């Protein structure tokens, strides 16, 4: 598994190197979020916190809902691992709000809206981590 973590880290860094010159904040945030999850999986909590901070900072003053929901869910998981339940709850709430906002972009009869809301309800009920969402 260590080889998988090293490979994942290498690919996430490559994504940063690709997205940074173009100032592609969506992919930068996602790459930092990946690095945060990779660090958490490797047991490097300091690096997980640092990468999460970069991901959240990348989202500042930006409307990037497709990256934002993933980063907020990652933040909730990381703060849960740190035992910071108040922060974890706050980011889980933010994740839920972004998902509901995304769902509202579709007509009530649209299957995509129903799919998003069903996935959100399932996520909230089961607490499944972001890797499976």
pTM above the 0.95 mark? no
Q: What is the pLDDT of residue 119?
A: 78
- 60/84 Cα distance (integer angstroms): 22
CATH class of 2-132: mainly alpha
Q: Which letter, b or e, does each residue of 71-99 get, where b requires 16 or more Cβ atoms within 10 Å of its Cβ? A: bbbbbbbbbbeeeeeeebeebbebbbebb
Q: How many CA atoms lie within 13 A of 102 on its CB side?
A: 22
Per residue in 23-50, pLDDT (tens digit) is 899 999 999 999 999 999 999 999 999 9
Burial zone of 113 (CB within 10 Å; 0-12 exposed, 13-18 middle, 19+ buried) = middle
CB 33 within 8 A of CB 52: yes
Per residue in 77-133, pLDDT (tens digit) is 999 999 999 999 999 999 999 999 988 888 888 888 888 888 778 766 666 455 545
């Amino acid at each position: 598994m260590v080889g998988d973590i090293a490979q994942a880290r290498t690919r996430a860094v490559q994504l940063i190197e690709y997205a940074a010159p173009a100032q592609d904040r969506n992919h930068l945030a996602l790459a930092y979020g990946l690095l945060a999850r990779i660090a958490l999986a490797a047991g490097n909590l300091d690096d997980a916190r640092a990468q999460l901070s970069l991901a959240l900072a990348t989202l500042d003053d930006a409307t990037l809902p497709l990256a934002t929901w993933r980063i907020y869910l990652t933040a909730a998981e990381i703060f849960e691992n740190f035992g910071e339940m108040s922060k974890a709850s706050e980011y889980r709430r933010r994740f839920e709000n972004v998902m509901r906002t995304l769902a509202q972009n579709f007509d009530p009869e649209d299957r995509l809206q129903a799919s998003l809301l069903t996935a959100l309800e399932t996520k909230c009920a089961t607490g499944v981590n972001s890797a499976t969402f």
